[in-house]
Each structure stands twice: as structure tokens, then as C-alpha cells.
Amino acid sequence: MSNAILESGAAMADRAPRHGVEELSMQQALNLALDEVLAENPKTLVFGEDCGRLGGVFRITDGLQAKYGTGRVFDTPLAESGILGMSAGLAMAGFHPIPEVQFDGFAYPAINQIVCQIARMNYRSRGTMPMPVTLRVPSFGGIRAPEHHGESLEALFAHVPGLKVVSPSNPHEAYHLLKYAATRPDPVIFMEPKSRYWQKGEVTFDSADPAGSAAGGPPTGAKVMREGRHVTLIAWGAMVARCLQVAGLAAEDGIDVEVLDLRWLKPIDAAALAASVRKTRRAVVVHEAPLTSGLGAEVAQLITQSCFDTLKAPVERITGFDVPYPSGDLEDEYIPNIDRILFGIQRVLEYRRG
């Protein structure tokens, strides 16, 4: 395999930096990011179930095998444990694997490889064996898929020492966050909101914003998507767009809502949380995962720890329910909707002590 990988370097062409703004779907933005990462680093490999010839079930890897060859972009058997076990071995051999688990519910068979090998190898080797594995996981719900095709596993992954977890909310974030994650020496779980794959948005390539951060520089923290004064909505992935919808509706009633895209779920940007909530003095966390032990509890704890003296109300959580992630049309009842989020805002605005 190594000869084929190195020979495929001939397929790489010099790239001029992209400038300006393009309107892309998230699928196109992710495809472009992978294309550029493959071109920039001959040690990068992209693989997974149907990722080669088909280009992935969501076409995220479309055209990449034809461009870079079967040695660098290839299909794997339907065996997630094998995909992640191979990823660990390739990383140990000096490659930067970018595997894909086809749906988040398919990640469970690979938990041993993710938790016991990929997450721990750098610790086990006393820092001599980094694990530059960027695991792409089409995640969350919103497409009314069958069982096991929609999950919210961020709390599970975030609980594992050694893993970093990130989830983009729009095409701009998807492009810049994936390019950044793919250069890290640490394992990154890249949770892609599959319901947003086909939503288009502007992607900025200007050097003034090289990595998708509002202030420039690496996209390593949370990002304020809308400024507000009365309450902060905190979300990630597909729920950011929904919170922006809610903020627009709330503004019609004179409620000024700030929307904070967490982006990185591990590590969490505690400073950005504190800055936003100290300004608005109220917070509502929104996520698709079940309520109990969801990541919203960790976010609420961080807010309470840093903003206890300024909070006007307890932190509210609007989440999925404590049931297995439902299939088909039942998703509509499970995923936080506009009315539930508006109700959460109402609760924190109307809260009175005593």
C-alpha cells in the first residue's frame, strides 16, 4: 500500500490560495476541504464504507478516488472496528488517516478501538506516538432515517480523555474546522450534522479569516453567531440554525437573543461561555441528545461555576428525550423544535427567585 500512496503524490497539483466568498453546500465544503488536505499532505488517507468509488453515501468524498488514486482514497469492508483499528495502525506508521463511519449509530462496534487504542496511545507511549486520526461521523437526526442512522454521541466521545470533539453548523465552519482538525496531532471526532449537508451558505476564504474564526486565527473556540442582550442560546451542529431562527422570532417580541455556536465540544470554550452569559445573565442550552447526562449538563455546570453571581435564572436545557433516538417521522417530536426553544427562553425570562 505504501508505494501506491507515495506514487499518488504525482496526482497533486500546486494550489493557489482561494480568495473571496463562494456559496457552497456543507457537502461541497467538506469535499473541498478533504480535496485540499489530500493535496497538501501526501500522508493523508481517506477511507470508509463506500468512500472510494461511490464517493460516500452523502457524496462527501465524491471524485477524490479518481483524483488521488485507490492508494489514498479507498473503500473498506463493512466493519467499523476494522476501519478504526486500521486507522490506529496507520497513524502509528506516520500517516494521517481520515476515516468515515457511515452513520453515527454505526460507531458503537468501534468503541474499543476508539477508546482503548486511538484515545490512549499518546498517553501509553508517553507522547512518542501521536494519533493524528480525524474520524468523520455523519451525526444527529433530521433526515427521518431508520434506526441506528441517527444518534447524538457527543457526550460519549467528550467523556473520553485523549479525544477532541467538534461539530460544524454551516458550510463555512465545516470547511475551516475540517481543514484545521486534519492537521492536528491528536484524535478528533468530527461530528457532521447530516441534516445540514444540502444547506448552502457563504464560505469565506480571505486571509483575514483563514480558519473560520470571527477574529481570525485557528478556529479553536466557540463563536458568537448573533449578538444579543437578554438571553444566550448555546448550541452546536444543526441546532445552531434552529436557534438563529428562534432568535429572529423572539426579536419580533422585543427579546434580544444571543446565539453562541459552541463548535468545539471537547475542549469547551469556557471563556466564551462566561463572556456571553455574563452579558445576558440568562442561558438556554439546546441539543438533540437525551437530557440525562447530555453535554448540556456540562455546559450548564461551566456557566454556573463562572457566572453564579450574575445569573438571573437557572440554566435551562432544551434537549431530546430520555428514549432511544426515534426513527422516521417520530424525529419531529423528538428533536427540539422552535416552540420548545421559545418556551425555554420564556422560562428564564420569567424566572423569579423565591
Peptide bond into 42 cis (omega under 30): no
**DSSP readout, 296-350?**
HHHHHHHHHHHHTTT-SSPPEEEEE-SSPPPPGGGHHHHS--HHHHHHHHHHHHH
Are the C-beta atoms of residues 281 and 311 closer than 8 Å to each other? yes
β pairing state of 231-235 and 283-290: parallel
Burial (CB count within 10 angstroms: exposed 0-12, middle 13-18, buried 19+), residue 226: middle
* Residue (of 66, 13, 17, 82) closest to 42 by Cα position: 13
Terminal-residue alpha carbon distance, the chain: 68
Of 232, 289, 228, nearest in space to 262 by CA: 232
Q: Could you give the CA distance from residue 222 to residue 214 in angstroms, rounded to a whole number? A: 10
For the beta sheet containing 223-226, the strands, ordered from the edge strand earlier in sequence to the opposite edge, are: 223-226, 257-261, 231-235, 283-290, 316-320
Q: Quick check: 126 and 137 in contact, CB under 8 A?
A: no
Residue 165 CA: distances (Å) to CA of 88, 128, 134, 262, 277: 17, 22, 10, 11, 23
Could you give the residue numbers annotated as active site?
Answer: 149
Strand 44-48 relative to strand 73-75, pairing: parallel
On whether the CB atoms of residues 310 and 280 are closer than 8 A, the answer is no
Classify residue 98 by its DSSP letter. E
